[in-house]
Chain A
Amino acid sequence: AQSVTQPDIHITVSEGASLELRCNYSYGATPYLFWYVQSPGQGLQLLLKYFSGDTLVQGIKGFEAEFKRSQSSFNLRKPSVHWSDAAEYFCAVGPRSNDYKLSFGAGTTVTVRA
Chain B
Amino acid sequence: DTGVSQNPRHKITKRGQNVTFRCDPISEHNRLYWYRQTLGQGPEFLTYFQNEAQLEKSRLLSDRFSAERPKGSFSTLEIQRTEQGDSAMYLCASSSSSGGAETQYFGPGTRLLVL
Contacts and interface: CB of A to CB of B under 8 A. Distances in A.
Given A44-B43, A44-B106, A106-B42, A100 B48 contact: yes
Contacts of A107: 40-42
B103 A49 contact: yes
Interface string B99-111: 0111111111101
B33 A51 contact: no
A54 to B, nearest CB: 14
Contacts of A41: 111
Nearest to B56: A101
Interface residues of B, number: 27
Contacts of A101: 33, 45, 48, 56
B101 A32 contact: yes
A92 B91 CA distance: 15
A90 B42 contact: yes
A110 to B, nearest CB: 14
Given A90-B43, A106-B42, A42 B48 contact: no
A104 B43 contact: yes
B108 A104 contact: no
Nearest to B41: A106
Interface in A9-58: 32, 34, 36, 41-46, 49, 51-52
Contacts of B4: 43
Given A4-B42, A94-B101, A102-B43, 4 more contacts: A44-B106, A45-B106, A94-B102, A102-B104
Which 7 pairs from chain A and chain B are nearest by CB?
A104-B42, A101-B45, A44-B106, A51-B101, A43-B108, A43-B106, A43-B109
10 contacts: A36-B106, A43-B106, A90-B42, A94-B101, A94-B102, A100-B48, A101-B33, A102-B45, A106-B40, A107-B42
